[in-house]
Chain A
Amino acid sequence: MVKQTYWEEVEPGSEIPPLEKNPTTQQLVKYAGASGDFYQIHYDKDFALNNNLPGVILHGALKNGFLGQMMTDFAGEEGWLRRLAVQYRGMDQPGSKVTCRGKVLKKYVEDGDHLVDCEIWLENAKGEKTTIGSATVMLPSRG
């Protein structure tokens, strides 16, 4: 388990620890099986090529899962991910690195809960944001 982050330790602009992923076609097959999304563009290269794609592509939902992992790591076992939103802006292919990143936009207390709003995104090896989003996390307070 990663070290617990406390609400007092973050400020607007604080970086969320990034999460690097190197998805393979094997991972896409595993994700298809685990999620039940068997759309062939994610594991059948011929099918993908016939659909005007450059090859098989990552499930948007898998990228959502990666960003969820970054945020539950950030929340730690004493925090709680309250909200997670993602919009897919570009395709990603297996065999190429993707990196989840984010930063804190705002911190506040609401009904006694210590919250932070974050901007999050996933970028490809060229640094292009292929998924953008936002998240709200409750963090423990030393207060």
Chain B
Amino acid sequence: MANKYVTDEVRKQIGMQSEARVVEVERGAIRRFAEAIGDPNPLFNDEGAARMTRFGGMIAPPTFCRSLGAAIPDVKLGMGEFRGLDGGSEWEYFEPIRPGDRISVVSKIADIRESSGRLGPMVFITVETSYTNQFNRRCAVQRSTVIRY
């Protein structure tokens, strides 16, 4: 059956990319994020204790990147009013993110698909966001799926 929303024309938006946004990571922001989750791990909270570990100082918890304000390219679907759902995320981690790092955040549309569920046609948009530090080392990649219906 032909897709209702995800036409060939709509799929041309795959690959669309945001401008890089560079964010300086504040120590307090890492602590506040860990506190919001309720994570007392000294690596995310206590510079003195973290300094004694192999990391040599505080690092950010795994989902901290969410606070860096990725600019997600706006996918046009011709859906009119729609509801949105967060489908989930997949993360890969390569290097720790540390206080004072300048992280370059770039998002691109990795996939747009459609399937029909009990709520009618649902569109799955996969956004891939990469987080790269000031030494041009990739720290993390996040692939998140948003659902519109």
Contacts and interface: CB of A to CB of B under 8 A. Distances in A.
Given A30-B35, A82-B93, A69 B88 contact: no
Nearest to B95: A80
B38 interface: yes
B143 to A, nearest CB: 9
B66 A84 contact: no
Interface stretch (A6-14, A34-42, A110-118): A34-42
Contacts of A31: 36-37
Given A65-B61, A66-B37, A77 B54 contact: yes
Contacts, number: 96
A60 B86 CA distance: 7
Contacts of B53: 77
Interface string B74-96: 00000000000111111111000
Interface residues of A, number: 35
A143 B42 CA distance: 27
A30 B36 CA distance: 5
A65 B30 CA distance: 13
B62 interface: yes
B43 to A, nearest CB: 6
B61 A37 contact: no
Given A34-B33, A77-B54, A27 B86 contact: no
Contacts of A66: 37
Interface of B: 29, 32-33, 35-39, 41-43, 49, 53-55, 61-63, 66-67, 69, 85-93
Given A30-B32, A61-B86, A68-B63, 11 more contacts: A30-B36, A31-B36, A34-B67, A64-B89, A68-B37, A72-B43, A72-B61, A73-B41, A84-B63, A85-B89, A86-B88
8 contacts: A1-B49, A34-B67, A35-B36, A36-B66, A68-B63, A81-B93, A87-B88, A133-B88
Interface of A: 1, 21, 27, 30-31, 33-37, 59-62, 64-66, 68-69, 71-73, 77-78, 80-88, 131, 133
